Structure 1
Amino acid sequence: MTTTTGTAAGHRLPDFPWDSLEAARARAAQHPGGIVDLSIGTPVDETPEVLRAALAGAGDSPGYPMALGTRELRTAAAGWLRRRLGVTLADPLGADPSVVPTIGSKELVALMPTLLGLRDGTVVIPEVAYPTYEVGAVLSGLAVRRADAPPAEAAGIGLVWLNSPGNPHGRVLTDDELRAWVTWGRAHGVPIVADECYATLGWEVQPRSLLHPAVAGDDHTGLLAVHSLSKQSTAAGYRAGLLSGDPVLVRRVWEVRRHLGLLVPGPVQAAMTAALDDDAHVDEQRERYRRRRERLAAAVRAAGLRIDHSEAGLYLWATRDEDCWTTVEWLAGLGIVPAPGSFYGPAGARHVRFALTATDERIDAAAERLTA
């Protein structure tokens, strides 16, 4: 299915969706056991010592950092991609770099059309999607088209966003689906960019990177992937992300970023290097999320909701087969606040999203209320 949901007219941003949850939060806060806010997926566990030590050790940082990233960081990023995702980059230290650091991933997502120099046309995003894909298109004066499969007509399309594992629904694209987009993008000269921020959090299936040789083939022509340390390293406050893939496209993004002064601070680059070289803290955090997922999923089902997709990532995508705001109101009465699925597009209007990023105590409180 393909849906056109916006135009470039007026460059009007949508309302900031989280503001509309204030009434639900106020009601939930009246619960005797306090609010359990599962609406925003912000990490709550301690940032691992390996990052904090590296950050502190690089605190004497009087000079400007490089938009390109240090050699150590780019080498660590290439090693992480190869070790964890089976992706081998072209020379990460080459004149046309195949990986650069970014100030988190949201900033990169919002600016991607601008960084790639798109001036008119359409950005394709998933039917159910992270709102910032649309925001980035609108900021660049571009139209938005929602599609979960390559459209028959490519005229005017300048960029395609994929998201696997998906936010909000945790859906993982199959190798065949990824290859179909790669073939379509290369045939029409349209960059395909995959947001893979939850790639290390596969539960029922193992997510595959767009840059994996089983998908991309022998090179990354026309392909980019976005990664983040926010969730896997509980470092959202560090604003630490990566862009990798086609060296021509990465260089184009890097050149604009250094003109704009979009620089990852030097101490954060040191922390990123340490984090990408260390797998133990990632595996420990993954285990925490696995336990929370099992506890919450059982309670959500016991309360009569159906969980769709959710085979990977940090969320449960659930429905009572009713308007999402009706479900939000019911849950607020239990002191629980999810994200309404309508935040993520018309196709999400009958679902809610539960985040797994609350503390163990708050997840347990939500489970107890759902099963009472």
Structure 2
Amino acid sequence: MVFDRLPEYPWQKLKPFREKASLFPDGVIDLSIGNPIDPTPEVIQKALDSASNSPGYPTTWGDVQARQAVCDWYSRRRRTPGLVPDQVLLTIGSKEFISWLPIMLGVGPGDVVVQPRLAYTAYEVGAAFAGADIFVGDEPSEWPANTKLIWLNSPGNPNGSVHSVEFLKRALERARELGAVIVNDECYAEMGWDEPWDSYIPCMIDPEVAGGDLTNVLSIYSLSKQSNLAGYRAAFAAGDEKLIRGLVNLRMHSGMMVPMPVQKAMIAALGDDVHVTEQKAIYRKRREILLPALLAYGFEVQDSEAGLYLWVTNGKNCWETIAELAEIGIVAVPGEFYGDAGKNFVRFSITATDGEIAEAAKRLQNALG
């Protein structure tokens, strides 16, 4: 059965360390999960409220107004003009799309799904659902001949690395050689911290990358991070119109559709850049408090140019570091969760409150004696 192909959900392994951290006199500071905790912007809440009387079924594809809002956003924020609503699909968050895409593409036994060397677990889960093999590797020339689906993730989770236009073009060229679908998961694209990524992070369907040919190319995005909408499950895919149409047909059969009030909220979120700028400033402030404390504690920060995490190492096995942090009431994520390449790393999230971030920094500093 399918559930035999998957191990226990990895986050269960953190439970004893979270329990240990909770014994610290002032309680636990949980910097493990990147769960937005700031209020959903009022402009979005009002849009949701105003659409609460929505008695009919929404369309699977998504209301044309919502899909046009996505097109306008790509033009304005992602340097990708000229998209039309038929090139956009609304999804119930991005995780469901990632997990089910291999099956919907007809990927199966004997086929390969490529994922990054350090990767969010959903890519591997999707391959397992489909019974396909997973190939872990960032170098396009090494991707196998029987590859059917390639996942990129820029900015990356867990390590916050960013792919350049040049790399995306090379990855796309290899995908075309293989006849594979290539998808870039871009959900942290509004969260670049330093030059050159603080103003723009390259998009997979940017004409500079794809040259105007979106055959078998998709960009996916979630509003969970930029707009504090994790609870709304609001996301979308954009790119190859033929591919989008095929996915819409399959999703019609399976009843996958975004509720109409959420679609109205998405329109409001995508049309308002002010709240995104404000939220980024909040995260920047938290990052600027936690980062120097981690460095002073003895961690080396790698990548982390974008996104909501700090990816750090002290040369020790990640579980040894997780146990050490639990002694001062802090929970982070062992890098092993994201692949063998992460076994000496831990990931810290900056999505905790201002007070929690300040307290975590204080505990790290106090631990130095």
TM-score, normalised to structure 1, is 0.95
**Residues 11 and 141 of structure 1 are in contact (CA less than 8 Å); yes or no, is this contact kept in structure 2?**
no
Specify the code of the residue in structure 2 equivalent to 1:103: I
- Unmatched runs of 5 consecutive residues or more in structure 1: 1-7
**Residues 11 and 139 of structure 1 are in contact (CA less than 8 Å); yes or no, is this contact kept in structure 2?**
no
Residue of structure 2 in register with 1:211 after alignment: 205
Residue of structure 2 in register with 1:193 after alignment: 183
Q: Give the counterpart of 2:300 among 295, 303, 306.
A: 306
**Residues 182 and 216 of structure 1 are in contact (CA less than 8 Å); yes or no, is this contact kept in structure 2?**
yes
What is the CA-CA distance between 1:18 and the residue it aligns to?
0.7
Structure 1 residue 330 corresponds to structure 2 residue 324: yes
Residue of structure 2 in register with 1:165 after alignment: 155
What is the CA-CA distance between 1:102 and the residue it aligns to?
0.3
Q: What's the CA shift string for 1:313-349, capped at 9, x where partnerless?
A: 0000001101000010011111100010000011110
What is the CA-CA distance between 1:10 and the residue it aligns to?
8.2
Q: Which moved more, 1:299-308 or 1:206-215?
A: 206-215
Structure 1 residue 24 corresponds to structure 2 residue 46: no
Q: Give the counterpart of 2:7 among 2, 8, 14.
A: 14
Residue of structure 1 in register with 2:145 after alignment: 155
Pairing 1:79-158 to 2, within 5 Å after superposition = 79-92=72-85, 97-120=86-109, 121-152=111-142, 154-158=144-148
Cα distance in 1 between the residues matched to 2:142 and 2:116: 16
Q: What is the number of equivalent residue pairs in this alignment?
A: 361
Residue of structure 1 in register with 2:29 after alignment: 36
What is the CA-CA distance between 1:151 and the residue it aligns to?
3.4
**Residues 137 and 143 of structure 2 are in contact (CA less than 8 Å); yes or no, is this contact kept in structure 1?**
no
What is the CA-CA distance between 1:149 and the residue it aligns to?
1.1
1:193 aligned counterpart, secondary structure: strand
Identity of aligned residues (%): 47
Residue of structure 2 in register with 1:4 after alignment: none
Q: Give the counterpart of 2:351 among 349, 353, 357.
A: 357
Q: Give the counterpart of 2:221 among 203, 221, 227.
A: 227
What is the CA-CA distance between 1:14 and the residue it aligns to?
2.2
1:151 aligned counterpart, secondary structure: helix
Q: Which moved more, 1:114-123 or 1:136-145?
A: 114-123
Structure 1 residue 244 corresponds to structure 2 residue 238: yes
**Residues 89 and 245 of structure 1 are in contact (CA less than 8 Å); yes or no, is this contact kept in structure 2?**
no
What is the CA-CA distance between 1:152 and the residue it aligns to?
4.1
Pairing 1:37-76 to 2, within 5 Å after superposition = 37-76=30-69
1:160 aligned counterpart, secondary structure: strand
Q: What's the CA shift string for 1:37-72, capped at 9, x where partnerless?
A: 011000000011111101110000111111111111
1:182 aligned counterpart, secondary structure: helix
Cα distance in 2 between the residues matched to 1:219 and 1:138: 30
Task: Provide the alpha-carbon RMSD of the alignment.
Answer: 1.3
What is the CA-CA distance between 1:11 and the residue it aligns to?
5.5
Cα distance in 1 between the residues matched to 2:2 and 2:61: 35
Q: What's the CA shift string for 1:180-212, capped at 9, x where partnerless?
A: 111111122111100000001011232211111
Task: Report the CA distance shift for 1:67/1:89 in structure 2 as closer, same or farther (over 3 A).
Answer: farther
1:66 aligned counterpart, secondary structure: coil
Pairing 1:290-301 to 2, within 5 Å after superposition = 290-301=284-295
Cα distance in 1 between the residues matched to 2:259 and 2:82: 24
Q: What's the CA shift string for 1:258-296, capped at 9, x where partnerless?
A: 111001001000000111011011111011001111111
TM-score, normalised to structure 2, is 0.95
Specify the code of the residue in structure 1 equivalent to 2:291: A
What is the CA-CA distance between 1:89 and the residue it aligns to?
4.5
Structure 1 residue 263 corresponds to structure 2 residue 253: no
Specify the code of the residue in structure 1 equivalent to 2:161: R
Cα distance in 2 between the residues matched to 1:164 and 1:71: 28
Cα distance in 1 between the residues matched to 2:67 and 2:180: 26
Structure 1 residue 369 corresponds to structure 2 residue 359: no
